[in-house]
Chains A and B, each alone.
Chain A
């Protein structure tokens, strides 16, 4: 069964450093998403991406965050200057459209120290 692949599985970074989280969505999916889950809390929407541009973003997705689909297969989330409160599990997801279920990756656990 097709999978969404995320790398790395765990990233530890110092406060203020830039991180790039990588995702390979399912190849024939058109919609891509990033979500995050702070330990013990809800899964929160960050951003959706369609047709090579951001279609929607949440309040969490401020100027420190950016997304790219640099080569038609990878989908990246960059955090420019990490803060302690960015520590969370970050999930990438893709889907064929809103009428279908989303396929989530297994996540990247980001720890900012």
Chain B
């Protein structure tokens, strides 16, 4: 299966701290994407990193990709209460469909 698997399953941090979550996958990918989902809501695309890229930034988000280890990490810096959500990595292989992991639930305490 292509599916990414996130680690940890849940993360609780204080506002202002950084949150790091990891994603591992099994086979070659075209790109890897991170999504956020607030409770009971839709999926919001955060960032896409291509297989030939190693690091990407978007605002307070930093994503790394290590294709040799088949892993990616998402770092949220200076977290805010509004960052409380579930975060999913999803891989795209040559079949062009997104395969999601189980997600990391992040709780940011005020």
Which A residues are within 8 Å of any B CB, using their own CB?
31, 33, 35, 41-45, 48, 55-56, 89, 91, 93, 97-107, 109
CB of A99 within 8 A of CB of B30, answer yes
Judge whether B57 is part of the interface by a CB distance below 8 angstroms: no
Residues on A with beta carbons closer than 8 Å to the beta carbon of B31: 98-99
With A43-B88, A99-B31: A107-B42 Cβ-Cβ less than 8 Å: yes
* A/B interface sample: 25 pairs, CB < 8 A: A31-B96, A35-B98, A41-B102, A42-B100, A43-B88, A43-B90, A43-B100, A44-B100, A45-B99, A45-B100, A56-B95, A89-B40, A91-B42, A98-B30, A98-B92, A99-B31, A101-B45, A101-B47, A102-B98, A104-B42, A104-B43, A105-B42, A106-B41, A107-B42, A109-B40
Docked pose: A33 CA to B3 CA in angstroms? 17
CB of B100 within 8 A of CB of A102, answer no
Docked pose: A106 CA to B44 CA in angstroms? 9
- Binary A-proximity of B46-57 (CB < 8 A = 1, otherwise 0): 011010000000
Residues on B with beta carbons closer than 8 Å to the beta carbon of A33: 97-98
With A91-B42, A106-B41, A106-B42: A45-B103 Cβ-Cβ less than 8 Å: no
